[in-house]
Structure 1
């Protein structure tokens, strides 16, 4: 009986807390195939988005540049985070070394924070496009968008480097996946990080999109009667149909992000055993967001379908 219990642990010593995964081999193999398939499709679809916008000059609008930046962070998730997390969760006995733990944690944080930063920029872009269409071309230029994207990525890179430096001590041997990811202590640092990376950004995004929803609904009613309305003798121009459609599409992208990265999901996953099937699925839910985003573009953006066909058929002429 003692031998059988010892076999459940990664390391045969009295202080070991590293338990081997407790699901069947068939389910384990199925999950490996499933998550690695998601990883491959995520990389493939986001590469299509990146190549499409990068290659075709006519697609390099301010809004599409923001989509390009978001696709880069989604590509990193599919290329690095999902495969590494698959191995780490399915094999809780950590064999990848302490430095790879730092790399995995840093990349994970960077993808999360850069996605939030890009979604804030997308929300501001859509807010101006719908709520102040006359000033959109003056306020939102390609040069300004590139500068904002650059600043956003720089802030994320520096912030996450500081965060990982606080949380991770590479001098301490890491033998379990839990020891790598879930770092104890630094309560107030955790609270401040949550407010900075989730609380404030989500409040901004939700507030802007609620305003967009109210204005778009009002404009849709006016467009139904006439495209240009006159109020007290002053002509007001409304956002065009493509702008409203883009706002709807990117609103779905934002909503998808908020659902996948919902902090409630994290707390629910902690209730279950770290090696249970439910915990594994909930842990991977945030990363599925990077898989869904390009699928949303495919359904709502005709340019994505057209450029994808050109790329796949090797017709990359502008």
Structure 2
């Protein structure tokens, strides 16, 4: 009787249940369709990267090991984090229980910071490749890169364990009713995380990419002056433009995805999942896991060739692992 008089509950059998916001059926279908599309696209793109690097022996390089680890991180984001965060927003109730309420924020922050760490490592690799070409082969060994990957994962796991320790120990402390999973990051913790997770890595990336761009342009100018061939001028200008565009995309997309999420910390406010715009901020950042394979892999010709071989089923042929795709 009472259930028909008021708003529906998240858990009708519990008097302490939260109220549930009902959406129009058309809106619910649209949101679930978008969620499925984005999650599936993220998973598919990253699986293609993982399979390509794993299958073709020519791609077993230190740099590609880094791309492989990044793809694994973004794959888990698309496979677990995106569906969980989508379910939280669409249903307006937390239906996954106390344990998942404790673990899901930790998983979210851990994977995002790990992905960010891989971006920094990629910027370091590109810096060494362009700015120190004589020694980068001795520095960028498979062992060294694998150690960096391990440290990236380990530091993210430890740091975010400390960062979310209070929530992991008591996930219900900010919940006012059953059907809520509230995560609150204090202003002090948010400010520390802002510098550790965003300002520091962002500064490293921008500085390294700017150095890479300056060195690349200077090398092109040296080649141009040595050849003294006018016919090469259009090619040189095109190369400079392409380098500037690629570096610009990398930095701008990163900033566009991560800056909004740190708005509460920048504004000196506590961050909470109950904020009306929190879901928008978190999803903008999650979309970076879908864009990563496009930015870091699809610019490579070998990736496009690998996709062609996969979809034409030529990978089923004998000795397909030995195909030269670079």
CA distance in 1, matches of 2:302, 2:245: 16
Counterpart for residue 59 of structure 1: 59
Corresponding residue to 1:258 among 255, 262, 277: 255
Structure 1 consecutive aligned stretches of length 4 or more whose deviation exceeds 6 Å = 2-5, 11-16, 244-248, 273-276
CA distance in 2, matches of 1:30, 1:275: 23
Alignment of 1:274-285 (within 5 A): 280-285=279-284
Counterpart for residue 69 of structure 1: 69
Compute the displacement of 1:188 (Å). 2.2
Counterpart for residue 235 of structure 1: none
The C-alpha deviation readout for 1:283-310, integer Å capped at 9, x for no partner, is 3111111112223356421111221232
- Maintained 8 Å contact 1:21/1:91: yes
Instruction: Kindly indicate whether residue 220 of structure 2 is the aligned counterpart of residue 220 of structure 1.
Output: yes
- Maintained 8 Å contact 2:105/2:183: no
Instruction: Kindly indicate whether residue 43 of structure 2 is the aligned counterpart of residue 46 of structure 1.
Output: no
Q: Give the direction of change, closer, same or farther, for the CA distance of 1:207–1:9 in structure 2 (3 Å limit).
A: farther
Counterpart for residue 300 of structure 2: 301
The C-alpha deviation readout for 1:230-260, integer Å capped at 9, x for no partner, is xxxxxxxxxxx99x98997576345422221
Instruction: Name which of structure 1's ranges 214-223 and 25-34 shifts more when overlaid on structure 2.
Output: 214-223
Instruction: Kindly indicate whether residue 133 of structure 2 is the aligned counterpart of residue 133 of structure 1.
Output: yes
CA distance in 2, matches of 1:5, 1:159: 47
Corresponding residue to 1:317 among 315, 318, 321: 321
**What RMSD over aligned residues (CA atoms) do the two structures have, in Å?**
3.6
- Maintained 8 Å contact 1:127/1:212: yes
The C-alpha deviation readout for 1:142-165, integer Å capped at 9, x for no partner, is 211111111111111122222222
Instruction: Kindly indicate whether residue 165 of structure 2 is the aligned counterpart of residue 165 of structure 1.
Output: yes
Counterpart for residue 194 of structure 1: 194
Counterpart for residue 83 of structure 1: 83
Compute the displacement of 1:176 (Å). 6.7
Q: Give the direction of change, closer, same or farther, for the CA distance of 1:298–1:21 in structure 2 (3 Å limit).
A: farther
Counterpart for residue 182 of structure 1: 183
CA distance in 1, matches of 2:298, 2:210: 23
CA distance in 1, matches of 2:60, 2:51: 11
CA distance in 2, matches of 1:317, 1:265: 44
CA distance in 1, matches of 2:35, 2:259: 20
The C-alpha deviation readout for 1:118-154, integer Å capped at 9, x for no partner, is 1111111111111121221122222111111111111
* Structure 2 gap segments, 5+ residues each: 229-237
Counterpart for residue 290 of structure 2: 291
Compute the displacement of 1:96 (Å). 0.9
- Maintained 8 Å contact 2:21/2:92: yes
- Maintained 8 Å contact 2:65/2:145: yes
Q: TM-score, normalised by structure 1?
A: 0.79
- Maintained 8 Å contact 2:109/2:160: yes
CA distance in 2, matches of 1:7, 1:73: 40
- Aligned length, in residue pairs: 298
- Maintained 8 Å contact 1:49/1:71: yes
Partner of 1:158, secondary structure, is: helix
